[in-house]
Amino acid sequence: MSYSANKLAPELVGAAEPTPSGRLPLSSVDRTAVVRLIIDLILVFEQGVQPAKAIRSALSRALVHYYPVAGRIVEPIPGEAEVDCTGDGVWFVEASVDCGLEDVNNLEHPLQLPRKDLIPYAPLDVTEFTCGGFAVGIRFNHTVFDGVGAAQFLKAVAEIARGHARPLVEPVWCREAIPSPPKLSQRHAPAPAAVSFESSVFDIPSDHINAVKNQFCREAGQDCSTFDVVTAIVWQCRTRATSLEPHADVYLSFTANTRHLLHQLLPQGGFYGNCVYPMGIKATAGTIAGSTPAEVIELIRDAKEKMSAKFLDWLMGDAEDDPCKVPLGYGMLVVSDWSRVGFSEVNYGWGEPIHVAPLNDDHNFVASCIYLQPSKPKQGVRLLTRCVQKEHLPAFTEEMKKFVHN
């Protein structure tokens, strides 16, 4: 069944008070290729009273504190992007749709409303449903925020919507405090041809994750994290499903939060710029497919342990390789953990979202898996995957069934 949306005209929401002008530098991390992306996501809420009106007003007041967000990215010198604090504002669109959230499965996968009704070509969209629920669709430039920073901004808007006079965490720009390493070679491999990845959702319950953790502890004599377990499971299941030659190289890539490594340069809280570093692991398909889960976990833990030294080497210009140069063939899998960055804590006054998900289903150059919190009351990790072609989907699903509960 199809539903129709009624959209009001897009409007620019500016700061409620005068704000500083001028240009602000972006950090060396902000300017890396790995964050040169536009991110789309939705937050779905069960109920709200005139949410668009409340969020629009709160957004305007939040922009007084986050005034660079109301500016525009400029690049006066190639590769040297800055934020021009023009005060132009943030695009805002209000919409309503003639159905309830239950009619569209709370906007869980597969998406039963057109993406254009949820994520317009403007940063912020609020769509209200007949049941009283609403969805906030956000489009943001990763160059200005990482996941933690974007969640900090969204929570600031929500705090003001709930009645606070100002954000509970005062935002800090402070991008110039991060060192700029000497430029590495800008030569990158040609972009690969687009691949038609299939979307799937898997819920891995906590007891299944804990069973693998306990097994690893028995075999290795040490603990491992939920991220370690889930990443090992996905990488191994995908490698087995794609049936690559045993000697073929496979790669795993993930970004690590580096705020703790910059605590002497950045304030204790409030920094909303990029503090991420991409880590990569290379192995043969035969090794990953034929190893025990504990052995794959060990590879992931080893990479994480090396991250601090690699990141600091990169900042000092001592890195041997550009961390952003990754092979983008079918053998590469990129995983991102959204489950703990804070999107699920956004509360405009009517409770936290019942569902949070990215909507970047048009990215077809690299296999990806995003970790989310499952719908309540489920406990564990929800995986939103776009990592195999149609011909490999049945085998991938079969491999994942050993660990998931749908």
Residues 4-38 pLDDT 10s: 889 998 999 999 999 999 999 999 999 887 888 88
Banded pLDDT at 121 (limits 50, 70, 90): low
Q: Which of 385, 380, 301, 299 is nearest to 335 (CA)?
A: 385
Across 265-284, average pLDDT: 92
Across 226-239, average pLDDT: 97
The pLDDT of residue 15 is 98
Least confident of 17-31, 154-168, 284-298, 350-364: 350-364
Residue 125 pairs in a beta bridge with: 93, 137
In one-letter notation, the amino acid at residue 384 is L
Residues 186-222 pLDDT 10s: 444 455 567 789 999 999 999 999 999 999 999 999 9
The pLDDT of residue 192 is 59
pLDDT of 57 above 80: yes
Across 61-80, average pLDDT: 94
- pLDDT greater at residue 379 or residue 316: 379
- pLDDT greater at residue 106 or residue 117: 106
Q: Kindly report the pTM of this predicted structure.
A: 0.92
The pLDDT of residue 186 is 47
pLDDT of 66 above 90: yes
The pLDDT of residue 37 is 86
How far is it, in rounded angstroms, from Cα 49 to Cα 68? 29
pLDDT of 95 above 60: yes
Banded pLDDT at 403 (limits 50, 70, 90): confident
Token pair belonging to 126: 């609020």
In one-letter notation, the amino acid at residue 248 is A
**Mean pLDDT score of the chain:** 90
pLDDT of 405 above 90: no
SS3 at position 85: coil
Least confident of 106-110, 179-183, 207-211, 219-223: 179-183
The pLDDT of residue 363 is 66
- pLDDT greater at residue 330 or residue 326: 330
How far is it, in rounded angstroms, from Cα 241 to Cα 301? 23
Phi and psi at residue 200, to the nearest 5°: -145, 155
How far is it, in rounded angstroms, from Cα 226 to Cα 207? 11
For the chain, state the CA radius of gyration: 22
**CA angle, residues 345, 348, 349, in degrees to nearest 5:** 105
Q: Measuring CA to CA, how many Å separate 254 from each of 17, 100, 201, 243, 374?
A: 40, 37, 19, 23, 21
Domains of the chain from N-terminus onward: 14-177 (3.30.559.10), 197-338+361-400 (3.30.559.10)
Question: Going by C-beta distance under 8 Å and a sequence separation of 6 or more, which residues neighbour residue 269?
Answer: 169, 172
Answer whether 25's CB lies under 8 Å from 333's CB: no
